[in-house]
A = this chain, B = another copy of it.
Amino acid sequence: MNVQEAMQRLKDKGYKYTDKRQDMLQLFSDESRYLAAKDVLEAMQKEHDGMSFDTIYRNLSLFTDLGILEGTELNGEKRFRFSCSVDEHHHHVICLDCGKTKHIHHCPMDDEPVRSSGFEVVGHKFEIYGYCEECKAPAAQ
Contact = CB atoms under 8 A, between A and B. Distances in A.
Nearest to A75: B73
A32 B67 CA distance: 35
A111 interface: yes
B93 A104 contact: no
Given A76-B73, A95-B119, A122-B141, A128 B106 contact: no
A4 interface: no
Interface in A89-141: 93, 95-96, 102, 104-106, 108-109, 111, 113-114, 117-133, 136, 141
A90 to B, nearest CB: 9
Nearest to A136: B120
A127 B124 contact: yes
A38 interface: no
B111 A104 contact: yes
Interface residues of A, number: 34
Nearest to A119: B130
23 contacts: A73-B76, A76-B78, A93-B119, A95-B119, A102-B117, A104-B108, A104-B111, A104-B113, A104-B114, A106-B111, A108-B108, A108-B126, A109-B128, A117-B128, A119-B131, A122-B129, A123-B129, A124-B127, A124-B128, A125-B127, A125-B128, A125-B129, A126-B127
